[in-house]
A and B are shown apart, each in its own frame.
With several copies, the nearest count.
Chain A
Amino acid sequence: MALDKTQIAQRIAQELQDGYYVNLGIGIPTLVANYIPEGMDVVLQSENGLLGIGPFPEKGKADPDLINAGKQTVTYLPGSAFFDSSFSFAMIRGGHIDLTVLGAFEVTENGDISSWKIPGKMVKGMGGAMDLVAAAKNIIVATTHVDRNGQPKLKKKCDLPLTGVNCVKKIVSDMAVVEVTDKGFKLLERAPGVSVEEIVAATGAPLIIDGEIPEMQF
């Protein structure tokens, strides 16, 4: 059975390592924060100027001067630091963030990603996504495997305007964990109960399938 959003976040959390500085995009990626393994030091960066995002505030304690990049009220943790936007992106562009997790409309077998614009329909802007994908060492996309119309989101070529090229390293979808290799998509894991055939059918580009594909472990 395909994963729900929470499970996608849970699976991505397994990619975290002690000492990681991580930027989590809006949506499913934000949920990853809830599954940081106990005892592991992971510091969350918010590109509007905070290193060390804490949990959402208690009711009545929301501070308008303290929001995340999704404009949600947050808190900060001991050891946090605040800084301006140019410094924040110096941190991102300079490669000091270990991992970026973000959503996508489409991802290609060579790691291109479209995530910010649907011509004629959605014109919200790219925010910090282009900077993040151009600079982070490791970029994981959190997404459903197919779109609302059942069309593959993992493709040979993006149809929508690009956010970045050759940048996505891994995709964790509701159906599979897929690595972007020099030779294209490589299937690493299946969602529990989802078959390799189902994943192949739902993917818009060839999948390298090397031996037995294990189920994700939670």
Chain B
Amino acid sequence: MNKVVKNAEEAIADLQSNQTLMLGGFGLSGIPENCINAMVEKGIEGLTCISNNAGVDDFGLGLLLKKHQIKKMISSYVGENKEFERQMLSGELEVELNPQGTLAERIRAGGAGIPAFFVPAGYGTEVAEGKEVRVFDGKPHILERALTADFSIIKAWKGDKAGNLIFRHTANNFNQPMGMAGKITIAEVDELVEVGELDPNQIHLPGVFVQRIFQGVGYEKRIEFETTR
């Protein structure tokens, strides 16, 4: 069983146009930079991207947007990206906005074999349109469906060659649940270590969920809003 691939190009070699992808990260924190760049290079199109945000104009998913490689986004917050806004308002880009927690839970549910579940978020809003409403304990809830993807492309801090992953600080965010929900999960990591080097009590995402792994290079780790004291 060899999960280690050489680089992003090899990791996404069989990724095709019109597939559905999950891409980890919150804002620009914890995004799979190497794979995004490789996807831009590869030029595949018509992608449905499930990602909490859409990057900025010149970094992250913004790069794929600029080249019109994305057909549809499923996200919770897509500000900070003028090209995104333009494509959405012009109808070039299909956008499905989800409450962030609902999005995260739909992804976790997809990985956990739970096809649908009830949540209170969005009841009474346009998010609830067309969805089943049911009252539990006196409070109305809406039925939400799970999400899965052809590929989940995630970024972790440390990973071992068996695919076990550890995330760092708030760069975990959507990476962990997305890692559970891809038919194929590709993990790029800051540091790839040998099997046995990670403490089994500290694994955030066990290797069973990860099909391909590589140590990324040249991480830019851009900061969106650097704020200091």
Contacts and interface: CB of A to CB of B under 8 A. Distances in A.
A181 interface: no
A62 B125 contact: no
Interface stretch (B12-20, B63-71, B99-107): B99-107
Given A79-B195, A131-B102, A48 B26 contact: yes
14 contacts: A43-B162, A51-B207, A59-B229, A65-B30, A67-B170, A79-B164, A81-B164, A93-B105, A96-B208, A126-B127, A128-B76, A130-B99, A135-B121, A163-B125
Contact of A66 (B105, B113, B123, B169): B169
A94 interface: yes
Interface of B: 1, 26-30, 52, 75-80, 85, 88-89, 95, 97, 99-102, 104-105, 107-108, 110-114, 119-127, 157, 160-162, 164, 167-177, 180-181, 195-196, 200-201, 203-204, 206-209, 221-229
A135 B121 CA distance: 7
Given A48-B170, A64-B222, A126-B99, A18 B204 contact: no
B121 A165 contact: no
A68 B119 CA distance: 24
B208 A82 contact: no
Interface of A (DSSP majority class): loop
Contacts of B89: 123
Interface stretch (A7-15, A69-77, A142-150, A208-216): A69-77
A90 interface: yes
A182 interface: no
A162 B42 CA distance: 41
Nearest to A18: B1
Contacts of A78: 195-196
